[in-house]
Amino acid sequence: MVITNKSGRTAVRATALAFSAALLVAACSSGGGGGGKASQSTGAAKAGSGTKVTVTETEYALKLSRNSFTPGTYTFTADNAGTTTHALEVDGPGVSDVRTKNISSGQNTSVTVTLKKGTYKLYCPVDGHQQLGMKTDVKVG
Ligand SMILES: [Cu+2]
């Protein structure tokens, strides 16, 4: 296409604008479905409403107050009995990247999730802690 006059140029520019606007809309709608990037994404249930489980966190291990799980809603309280910063994250069927905030030594915080039949991973999402041993599998069923 050869642009020979002012109106022709304007038309091309308008088309390009419309095209990039359409791209923006497409990008937004495809990326926005999963909810916020915030800690409470998929699988988080109403705070504090579940069966209570204490997860004692030390360097570098997790200890759960219960070993047998049936499907249902659980509130995991991470109790930092160690000396450095820890947190708790839960991942598994229907629960993805649900985590507590970071807590310092002596503090505790909780996260409530609904667990289905399956295997869930509980771990400390602080850099390197999972690899050092702060993880455990929870079998529900
Ligand atoms: Cu940790």
Find the 103 Cα to ligand 1 centroid distance in Å. Answer: 9
Ligand 1 centroid–CA 19 distance in Å is: 47
Lay out the sheet containing 108-115: strands in order across.
61-64, 51-58, 72-80, 108-115
Q: List residues, by chain if needed, whose CB lies under 5 Å from ion ligand 1.
A: 86, 124, 126, 129, 134
Question: Cα dist. 92→22, 110, 140 in Å?
Answer: 36, 17, 10
Integer Cα distance of 134 and 62 in angstroms: 5
Over the stretch 101-139, which tens digit does the pLDDT of each residue have? 999 999 999 999 999 999 999 999 999 999 999 999 999
Between 42 and 28, the more confident residue is 42
Whether the pLDDT of residue 28 is over 60: the answer is no
Question: Any idea which residue has 């050869």 for tokens?
Answer: 2
Identify each DSSP E strand in the chain by its residue range: 51-58, 61-64, 72-80, 89-92, 95-99, 108-115, 118-123, 135-140
